[in-house]
Each structure stands twice: as structure tokens, then as C-alpha cells.
Amino acid sequence: MEEASKPIPLLLMGQELSGLGFNQLMHLENQLQISLENVRVRKVSWFKVKANQSSSLHDQTFRDEIKELQQKGSLIHQQNKELHKKIDLIHKENAELQKVIVIEARGREEEKATLNPSQAIRNGYDILDPVSLQQSQPQFQPQHSEPPAEVMILGSSLKLMI
């Protein structure tokens, strides 16, 4: 029983084991296994805490980034709405200007018609109608085998003798 009185820390460190009996060695092995399990539990707990802290830090970073992106998206949406309002206003102003142009053009036409009635007939052309100009090839009149008997030059007649 003298060996049982030896200090436990010496036994746990593996010193002075030669004089221990079977039961004492079994008891010592159980104590070592319990201690080892406690170390493992603490280690796992420590890693879980660190992982949670790290995860928590990453989660917070992601939450901050998401919040920032949502704010940017909201700002862009607001700017988009303001630009649409400006576009609508410009369209309304353009429509009003078109009306003014048409009214002024009609007023000028009416004024011309009252000042000079001979110009009131426009031969089917209206200044408000769009004009389309295009290049075209000159059109030649087919030539006759014999020249005309009379040619009009500035209102006078001329007979050709050939």
C-alpha cells in the first residue's frame, strides 16, 4: 500500500509505475482516459467557439455588404425614377413646342392668304407637309427620226428647212 500513497502527479506523468499492481494500473489508466477526454472536450469547445467567432465575423461582414448593396440599389432606383420624371417632362415640353410651331405656321399661312389672295391657292402643297428630296437620274425625251416642223422659241415660231 505504500505505492498507493505516492503522489498522483508523479503517477500521471509515468514516473514510479514499476511497483504498482494491476488494479492500481487500471485505475490510473481510467484516470488518464478521463483526463484525455476532458482535454478533447475542451479542445472541441475551443474550436467551436473560434469557429463561431469567425463565422459570426464573416456573417457580420456579409450582412454589412448586403446592407450596403441594398442602399446602393435603393439610391439607383430613386435616381432612375427621377430620370423617368425628367424624360416625361421633356416629352411634354416637346409636344407643347410642336403645337406652338404648328399654330405659328398656320397663322403665317393665313396671314399670307389675307395679304395676297392670289397666293391663297397653294397648288396642293402645304408647308406643314414633310418634304422628301431625293437624287434622280435626268429623264431624256426619246428622239424622233425627223425633226419637228415648227420649233417654238420664246413665243415665236421658226420653220426649219433641212
Longest dimension (CA), the chain: 165
What integer is the mean pLDDT of 90-95?
A: 95
| Cell numbers representing residue 11 in the block | 503517477
Return the minimum-mean-pLDDT range out of 6-20, 22-36, 60-74, 96-110. Answer: 6-20
| Cell numbers representing residue 93 in the block | 415640353
Given pLDDT bands bounded at 50, 70 and 90, which one contains residue 98?
A: very high
Closest CA to 149 of 140, 137, 136, 158: 158
**What pLDDT was estimated at residue 1?**
40
Q: What is the pLDDT of residues 121-134, one digit of tens each?
A: 454 555 555 556 66
How far is it, in rounded angstroms, from Cα 158 to Cα 155?
10
How far is it, in rounded angstroms, from Cα 28 to Cα 11?
8
Q: Which residue has the higher pLDDT, 138 or 96?
A: 96
Q: Which residues have C-beta within 8 Å of that of residue 80, sequence separation ≥ 6?
A: none
Q: What is the pLDDT of residues 20-33, one digit of tens each?
A: 788 888 888 898 89
Q: Evaluate if residue 93 carries a pLDDT over 90.
A: yes
What integer is the mean pLDDT of 129-140?
A: 62
How far is it, in rounded angstroms, from Cα 105 to Cα 162?
57
**What pLDDT was estimated at residue 144?**
55
